[in-house]
Amino acid sequence: MSTIIVEVGETRIEAPNAQLARQVLEQQLGARIAEPAMSFPADTRRPQNHRLTVHMAGNAVSPVAGAEIIRALRAAA
């Protein structure tokens, strides 16, 4: 059986699938850690609900990755 390995800082998660890895990270990482790990700036607007914030950060395309995708699309156009 294959294993997903996720590392954020010194935290290393091994899980059988991405969904379980995300659930473990949501439990272990708070929003104040999850957002910077995804490269969101400190002034990012967020919902008041902590669980929703962590969920949204986990499902988002990080700003750095999004910018790289946009640059690649523009270069290819």
**Whole-number average pLDDT of the chain:** 77
Across 25-43, average pLDDT: 73
CA dist 19 and 12 (Å) reads 15
pLDDT bracket for residue 75 (50, 70, 90) = very high
Structural domain count of the chain: 1
pLDDT, residue 56, reads 81
Q: What is the pLDDT of residues 51-73, one digit of tens each?
A: 888 778 777 777 888 888 899 99
Q: Label residue 3 exposed, middle or buried (CB < 10 Å: 0-12, 13-18, 19+).
A: exposed
Total-model pTM: 0.45
Domain coverage including residue 23: 4-76
